[in-house]
Amino acid sequence: MSALAKALVAAQAEFPPIERSKDVRVQTKTGGSYSFSYAPLDAILNSVRPVLTKHGLAVSQLLGHIDGQPALKTVLLHEDGESLEDACPLPANGALSAQEFGSLVTYFRRYALVTVLGIATEEDDDGNAASGNSSVAVSSPGGDPTATENPAEAARRAQQAAGATHFSEARPYMTEEQYLALHRNAMAAGAVPSQQIVSFGKNKGVLLSELTTNQLRWYAEDWQPQDDPSPYDLRLKAAAVALFRGDDTSEALKVPGSEIPF
C-alpha cells in the first residue's frame, strides 16, 4: 500500500464529526418547501486540517480549465510526493456575477473536498440538487442554493398527507415497508455485514455501508446490545465489528444466537 493510501486510511479513522451548522430551505416545483442542513467549507477545513497535517497530508484546490471551460482541480498531497487528484468542470457562464461565481466555486470546493477525503458532512438530499428544480433560500449569504425536489420529496409530502410520522433523524421520509424490505435483504442467505441495517436510534434505516468511519466505529466499539439482546442486535453488533475491521463476508455474521428463523 502506498504512503498516501496508508495516511488517508489513518486520517479517515480520526476525522471528527463535522457539525451541520447551515440550513437550506428549498421551494419545490409543486409549491411546498423543505429544509436540510450542511457543513460549510470553512467548518470542514477547520475540522480536517489538524488530522491531515498529523498524517503528512494536505489538500490543494485550484481553478483551471477543461476544454476551455472553467474547472476546479482538487489535489490530495502526501509529504513524500504522492498525490491523488481530479478535476471537475464548473457549470458557469458569462451571465454570472463575480459574487455568484465565487459562491459556485465554494459549493464545488466543498463537494470535491468531502469526496476526496471520503467523509460525510450533511443530510442526504437524495439527489435533489441534480433534479433540475429550483431552490429559494439559504440561512446565510453565500450558502448553497442548489438543493431541489425529486421523488423523495413527493414521497415525503404524500406521507405527510397520510399522517405518516418521522421515521428517524437520518431517514426522516423512509416508510415502514421500505425499512422492512431492507431488513429482509439483510437477513437473506449470503448477506454480508455491509448490508445490515441499523434498527434503532437516529440512524435507524441506514445500512452499515452508508455510515461514516466514525459512526461505524461507534457501533463496533462503543455500542453494546442491551441485556437479553434480540438476535438481530447480536447480528448487527457482529456485522459492525467485522465491517470496521474490513471483513465484509457472510461468514462474519455467523454468531451464536443471531440466527432469526423465518
Instruction: Give 260's pLDDT tier (boundaries 50, 70, 90).
Output: very low
d(C-alpha 9, C-alpha 84), whole Å: 14
Q: Is 56 strand, coil or helix? A: coil
For cell 450533511, the residue is 122
d(C-alpha 244, C-alpha 228), whole Å: 24
Q: What is the structure's pLDDT at 254? A: 80
In the chain, % of residues over pLDDT 90? 34
d(C-alpha 1, C-alpha 212), whole Å: 22
Residues contacting residue 258 through CB under 8 Å, at least 6 positions apart: 231, 232, 234, 235, 238
Nearest to 231 by CA among 253, 257, 256, 208: 257
d(C-alpha 114, C-alpha 205), whole Å: 23
261 with 241: CB under 8 angstroms?
no
C-alpha 65: how far from chain center = 28
For cell 426522516, the residue is 172
- pLDDT, average across residues 54-64: 94
CB-CB neighbours of 238 under 10 Å: 21
Residues contacting residue 90 through CB under 8 Å, at least 6 positions apart: 69, 70, 71, 72, 104, 105, 108
d(C-alpha 189, C-alpha 41), whole Å: 43
CB-CB neighbours of 90 under 10 Å: 20
* Angle of helix 41-54 versus helix 98-117 axis, rounded to 10: 40
176 vs 252, higher pLDDT: 252
- Name the grid cell of 51: 488530522
Q: Is 19 strand, coil or helix? A: coil
Where along the chain do its domains lie?
3-153, 165-253
For cell 463496533, the residue is 220
Per-residue model confidence as pLDDT tens digits over 130-178 = 444 444 434 343 444 333 334 344 444 444 444 445 678 888 777 787 8
For cell 425536489, the residue is 149
Q: What is the DSSP string of 171-204?
A: -TT--HHHHHHHHHHHHSTT--GGG-B--SSTTT
Nearest to 86 by CA among 96, 76, 94, 95: 76
- Name the grid cell of 11: 486520517
CB-CB neighbours of 193 under 10 Å: 27
Q: What is the structure's pLDDT at 27? A: 59
- pLDDT, average across residues 38-57: 91
Name the average pLDDT for the chain.
77
